[in-house]
């Protein structure tokens, strides 16, 4: 494990200490590592959302906007599956 020295503002230090005092964490390192894990997870989720948005934009460029409601699209899909004997 790598050791690092960081400076923390007084309000953040108080918050970290409150996490330790509440016994949710046993050390400053645990608090900081948990925050970093959560930030990395959030970053991964944002990348996923961005990729989905880009894919959606490309689909709109390729196929155009859909002006049907969700219920109408679902009904049409079910009709198609019934015709094909899959539902």
Residue-by-residue DSSP string for 12-71 = HHHHHHHHHHTTS-SSHHHHHHHHHHHHHHHHHHHHHHHHHHHHHHHHHHHH----S-HH
Under the banding of pLDDT at 50, 70 and 90, the label for residue 3 is very high
Q: Please write the tens of the pLDDT for every residue from 33-87.
A: 999 999 999 999 999 999 999 999 999 888 888 888 889 989 999 999 999 998 8
Q: In terms of pTM, does the model score above 0.85?
A: no
pLDDT at 31 over 90: yes
């Amino acid at each position: 494990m790598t050791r690092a020295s960081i400076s923390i503002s007084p309000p953040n230090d108080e918050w970290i200490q409150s996490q330790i005092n509440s016994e949710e964490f046993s050390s400053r390192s645990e608090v900081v590592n948990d925050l970093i894990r959560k930030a990395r997870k959030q970053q991964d989720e944002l990348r996923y959302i961005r990729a989905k948005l880009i894919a959606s934009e490309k689909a709109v460029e390729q196929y155009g906007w859909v002006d049907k409601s969700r219920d109408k699209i679902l009904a049409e899909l079910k009709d198609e599956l019934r015709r094909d004997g899959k539902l």
